[in-house]
């Protein structure tokens, strides 16, 4: 595997942005990465709830593409393989590796894949647990541990010194990056880079030529400083779905209304506005007195399907209908994510897609 070092201070170690593209999530995928929960994580007390969800998720993925699993509990590796072995009939492979981890938020510690001069390249950005909120030393080494594995042997690997989580950026596949200023500009992430410097570094490393910065948006219970994948998502190069709050008495109403207004002001590179689809705000779900971050924007696009989070609330059906309108050619598969939001994340947060080398259609 070819390895480079990509620094915000010295972008000359990798080709210029016009040679790099950041595939959108709907690009054809080779595999999805999962970091499996285990007894030495915060999931210990809820493993009996969350592991069935992971198994359901893994089985749906294996019907359509390969699956790469890392697990910090080496004793569980064989049991995971055994539990998923029945799905080998679909012709895809599950790779399971024993790799130490602090937690399971693969979206944020996993690699971001770009196409660099025709080569699929995994960019290993630095991860510091959303500005040092939680332990992260083991999670920040998972990509290094996996880069030479059989599962990823055909991919190039590049290390970046920028702190960036996958949940904080959305690509439309045509050079436009959607993000939030609250997250990317938090001083605890990249304190030595101002907005212009960070934007330039991301344009070079992810190959984008335009960035859309959302300055509004909020989700109660969220630890990520407003990740874009909890609020607004590209569903096509010109289509954005977003969370809309219709209850003026809800704590989210003002921030999400301002976000909606800003989304309406964004223009495509051809000067046209983006098509917008509103997802409902889920009814409030509490863990004791704390509101949990239930959001329908945290879906995962995979080959021929969209895995959609639901929360056993009245808005579930309406959210699934909107996602079907956004993805009319894909099967919409609901996944009950109530166990996940107890740890302040949801479906997209625990996954990371790897685009396919041979087919980027």
pLDDT digits (tens, 9 = 90+) for 289-303: 899 999 999 999 999
pTM here is 0.94
* 218 closest CA partner among 248, 190, 257: 257
In a domain, 184, yes or no: yes
Asked whether residue 361 is domain-assigned, the answer is no
Number of structural domains (the chain) is 1
Residues near 330 by beta carbon (within 8 Å), at least 6 away in sequence? 301, 304, 305, 306
**Mean of pLDDT values over 81-95:** 92
Distance of CA 41 to the CA centre of its chain: 20
Q: Which helix (H) or strand (E) holds 332?
A: strand 331-336
Q: What residues make up the domain containing 328?
A: 3-355
Mean predicted confidence (pLDDT) in 134-146: 97
- What's 16's domain CATH number? 3.75.10.10
Residues recorded for the chain: 361
209-235 mean pLDDT: 97
Give me the torsion for CA of 226, 227, 233, 234, rounded to 10°. Answer: 130
Asked if residue 360 belongs to a domain, the reply is no
For residue range 288-343, what is the model confidence (pLDDT) as tens digits?
889 999 999 999 999 999 999 999 999 999 999 999 999 999 999 999 999 999 99
Q: Is residue 123 part of a domain?
A: yes
Structure confidence at residue 3 (pLDDT): 54
In this predicted structure, the answer to whether residue 129 has a pLDDT above a threshold of 50 is: yes
Name the more confident of 2 and 126. 126
Contact criterion met (CB below 8 Å) for 97 and 69: yes
Sign of CA dihedral 201, 207, 210, 215: negative
Residue 217 and residue 306: Cα distance in Å, rounded?
A: 24
Q: What is the pLDDT of residue 88?
A: 85
- pLDDT, one tens digit per residue, over 9-65 is 433 333 334 589 999 999 999 999 999 999 999 999 999 999 999 999 999 999 999
- Percentage of residues of the chain with pLDDT beyond 90: 89
């Amino acid at each position: 595997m070819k390895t480079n070092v990509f620094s915000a201070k010295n972008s000359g170690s990798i080709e210029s942005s016009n040679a790099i593209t950041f595939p959108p999530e709907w690009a054809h995928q080779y595999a999805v990465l999962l970091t499996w929960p285990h007894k030495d994580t915060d999931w210990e007390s809820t493993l009996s709830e969350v592991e069935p969800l992971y198994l359901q998720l893994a089985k749906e993925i294996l019907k359509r593409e390969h699956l790469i699993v890392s697990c910090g509990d080496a004793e569980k590796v064989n049991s995971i393989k055994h539990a998923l072995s029945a799905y080998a009939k679909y012709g895809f492979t599950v790779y399971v590796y024993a790799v130490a981890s602090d937690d399971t938020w693969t979206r944020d510690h996993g690699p971001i894949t770009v196409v660099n001069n025709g080569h699929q390249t995994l960019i290993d950005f630095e991860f510091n647990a959303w500005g040092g909120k939680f332990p992260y030393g083991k999670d920040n080494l998972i990509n290094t541990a996996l880069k030479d594995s059989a599962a990823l042997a055909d991919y190039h690997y590049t290390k970046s010194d920028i702190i960036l989580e996958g949940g904080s950026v959305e690509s439309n596949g045509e050079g436009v990056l959607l993000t939030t200023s609250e997250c990317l500009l938090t001083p605890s992430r990249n304190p030595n880079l101002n907005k212009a410097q960070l934007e330039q570094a991301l344009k070079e490393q992810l190959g984008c030529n335009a960035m859309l910065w959302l300055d509004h948006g909020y989700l109660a219970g969220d630890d990520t400083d407003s990740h874009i994948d909890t609020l607004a998502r590209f569903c096509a190069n010109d289509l954005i779905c977003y969370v809309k709050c219709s209850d003026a008495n809800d704590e989210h109403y003002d921030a999400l209304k301002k976000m909606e207004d800003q989304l309406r002001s964004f223009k495509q590179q051809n000067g046209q506005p983006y098509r917008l689809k509103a997802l409902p705000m889920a009814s409030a779900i509490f863990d004791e007195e704390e509101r949990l971050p239930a959001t329908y924007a945290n879906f995962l696009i995979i080959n021929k399907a969209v895995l959609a989070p639901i929360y056993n609330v009245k808005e579930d059906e309406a959210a699934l209908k909107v996602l079907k309108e956004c993805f009319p050619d894909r099967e919409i598969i609901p996944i009950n994510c109530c166990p996940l939001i107890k740890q302040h994340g949801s479906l997209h947060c625990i996954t990371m897609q790897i685009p396919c080398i041979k087919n980027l259609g």
